[in-house]
Amino acid sequence: MTDATPKIRIRGLTKSFGPKRVLDGIDLDVMPGTSCVVIGGSGSGKSVLLRCILGLIAPDSGSIEIDGVDILTLPPRRREGAIEKIGMLFQNGALFDSLSVWENVAFGLMAAGRRHGARMARAEARAHAGQVLEQVGLDPSVGALYPSELSGGMQKRVGLARAIASQPDILFFDEPTTGLDPIMGAVIDGLIVDCVRRLGSTAIAITHDMASAQRIGDRAAMLYQGKLIWQGAASALLDSGNPMVDQFTHGRREGPISMELRR
Amino acid sequence: MNVILDFIAALGRAALNLVRTAGALALFGLAGLSHLVRPPFYWRIFLGSLVEIGFFSLPVVALTALFSGGVIALQSYTGFAQYHVQSAIAGIVVLSVTRELGPVLAGLMVAGRVGAAMAAEIGTMRVTDQVDALTTLSTNPVKYLVTPRLLAGTLALPFLVLVADILGVLGGFTVSVVKLDFSAPAYIAATLATVKPIDITVGLAKAAVFGFLIALMGCYHGYHSRGGAEGVGAATTSAVVGASILLLAFDYLLTDVFFSQ
Ligand SMILES: Nc1ncnc2c1ncn2[C@@H]1O[C@H](COP(=O)(O)OP(=O)(O)OP(=O)(O)O)[C@@H](O)[C@H]1O
Ligand SMILES: [Mg+2]
């Protein structure tokens, strides 16, 4: 613990929407070059957690350190610089539908506001986008299409390509394999692992798929009622010894977690 | 007693809301403008909006102006014929078109066309997380989405109004000459004798303000929309209604400032 500062270090993070407390004191460390999967029921606040780190939602209290610097107290410009190190795959893709696929993938590379690394010219960026599309199992000719012309799974892969195109230090995946067939799901998992291993990126992935969680994650954490009730090795997910995690990972109806279906 | 207090409280809440919205709008507009002087500037988006507003609104603005000019000529003819001051018609047409009808009608048309489209486009981007995705891709969403549109609106509307001025006068001229049997040279001479440069320039200045307001309302409501397709629909309506009301209010203010001395 003393030899390395965590890439991401979260302490006491809270966030409420009106009376509803979604995050209630989150503590999480993610070490450099490792990946952490976050599991938890639908609506438990997993996406909100990632959005807080990305600065898209302002938390009520707590601290978020990236490379040892608390980004919540940084002035806006430096915070943007810190957040630029993060690539994000949104849960619903969030592709720019007015731009073609390759422009989507290369958007960050061509962005004029880019701080790290030189801004790419369009021709170069287009070629690069083709390569990244190939990495996610898409033909480079897909680059000329528009997002609305793609299937849901293809959109997911384009979103993934956009997130990894600039080879960011940190990668966030919000349900990367939801909506993909099992084989493509495994391919994407492999790709994520590859990014983390090869680029040395640090990753946080949200998933509902236990097989995928074990393939992607070094560490795992479970979010329940605003708290991380369990953290451990991802390989231990299926026999964690924690009754709530057990119920969740095995998908049992009976157990300490009672789904609030009535509302 | 309680009823009265409730009523006053409701009034107070409405007033507070109005002030809050006005403040938020002003801040949003200032934020958008402040990016004008801080590079980068997104030329692609700017040119796209400029063409969308300035070029594709031409047909609807042209038709509106043409018919309005004609209607003014007809109305003032029936109104003034009994006083034998038909010569005044050319003047009435050119003044009402350049000072009021050109800017206001073009503004309202563009508010319906472009304000709605901006709110829908940015609103859809907001509710599908595209605005957030911009942030994660090193792009400031206000700088990328709002600033180019504000500038395009401000520049495109004076151009449209210039076209509307010309076509409005042409409409009045056509009706007067073809239907009311005026002499064409006399009509033109009367028009030129009446209109002063300030009538046109003030109309164009109004147009620039209207263009800014329309783009501002479209961007503001789109940017702050929430709650799926329904939210985007509501944002579109608010943008058009808000822009139309603001536009008429500012028309009054600007007219008061420029013409009431
Ligand atoms: N902008 C917001 N305004 C108000 N409430 C919000 C907002 N964003 C999220 N919430 C609420 O926070 C809670 C957590 O949402 P979140 O999207 O993080 O869930 P999640 O864990 O990602 O679920 P899923 O697995 O279904 O994606 C939800 O109850 C949601 O209603
Ligand atoms: Mg989610």
Q: Residue written as tokens 């942030």?
A: B135
Instruction: Kindly state if the Cβ of A47 falls inside 6 Å of ligand 1.
Output: yes
Looking at all shown ligands, the one closest to residue A20's CA atom is 1
Residue A1 has pLDDT above 50, yes or no: no
A21 Cα: distance to centroid of ligand 1 (angstroms): 11
Q: Is the Cβ–Cβ distance between B237 and B109 less than 8 Å? A: no
Residue A263 has pLDDT above 50, yes or no: no
Instruction: Kindly state if the Cβ of A46 falls inside 6 Å of ligand 1.
Output: yes
Amino acid letter, A151: S
Best-predicted range by mean pLDDT among A60-74, A123-137, B149-163? B149-163
- DSSP H or E run through B90: helix B88-95
ipTM, two decimals, is 0.89
Counted residue by residue, chain A has a size of 263
Q: What is the DSSP string of A179-247?
A: TS-HHHHHHHHHHHHHHHHHH--EEEEE-S-HHHHHHH-SEEEEEETTEEEEEEEGGGGGG-S-HHHHH
Give residue-wise pLDDT tens across range B81-119. Answer: 666 666 788 899 999 999 999 999 999 999 999 999 999
For position A260, what pLDDT does the model report?
A: 57
- Rounded to the nearest 10°, the torsion over CA A188, A194, A196, A197 is 160
Give residue-wise pLDDT tens across range A44-102. Answer: 999 999 999 998 999 999 999 998 889 889 888 888 888 888 999 998 889 999 999 99
Instruction: Kindly state if the Cβ of A96 falls inside 6 Å of ligand 1.
Output: no
Q: Residue written as tokens 């021709």?
A: A123
Residue of A90, A110, A115, A204 to mutate when probing chain B, most B C-beta within 10 A: A90
Tokens of A65: 């350190």
A66 Cα: distance to centroid of ligand 1 (angstroms): 23
Q: With an 8 Å Cβ cutoff, are A97 and B130 in contact?
A: yes
Give the B-side interface with A, CB within 8 Å: 39-40, 42, 121, 124-125, 128-130, 132-133, 135-140, 143
Nearest to A96 among B40, B130, B136 (CB): B130
| Cα distance between residue B16 and residue B28, in whole Å | 18
For B139, name the nearest residue in chain A, comparing CA atoms only: A113
Counted residue by residue, chain B has a size of 261
Q: Is the Cβ–Cβ distance between B214 and B247 less than 8 Å? A: yes
Instruction: Kindly state if the Cβ of A92 falls inside 6 Å of ligand 1.
Output: no
For position A247, what pLDDT does the model report?
A: 86
Domains of chain A: 1-85+171-263 (3.40.50.300), 100-167 (no CATH)
**Burial class of B224 by CB neighbour count within 10 A (0 to 12, 13 to 18, 19+):** middle
Q: With an 8 Å Cβ cutoff, are B40 and A107 in contact?
A: no
Tell me, what DSSP letter sits at residue A85?
T
Q: With an 8 Å Cβ cutoff, are A113 and B133 in contact?
A: no
Domain ranges in chain B? 42-259
Nearest Cα neighbor of A165 from A184, A143, A180, A182 is A143
Cα distances (angstroms) measured from residue A249 to each of A49, A230, A233, B87, B180: 20, 12, 14, 88, 86
Q: Is the Cβ–Cβ distance between A82 and A156 less than 8 Å? A: no
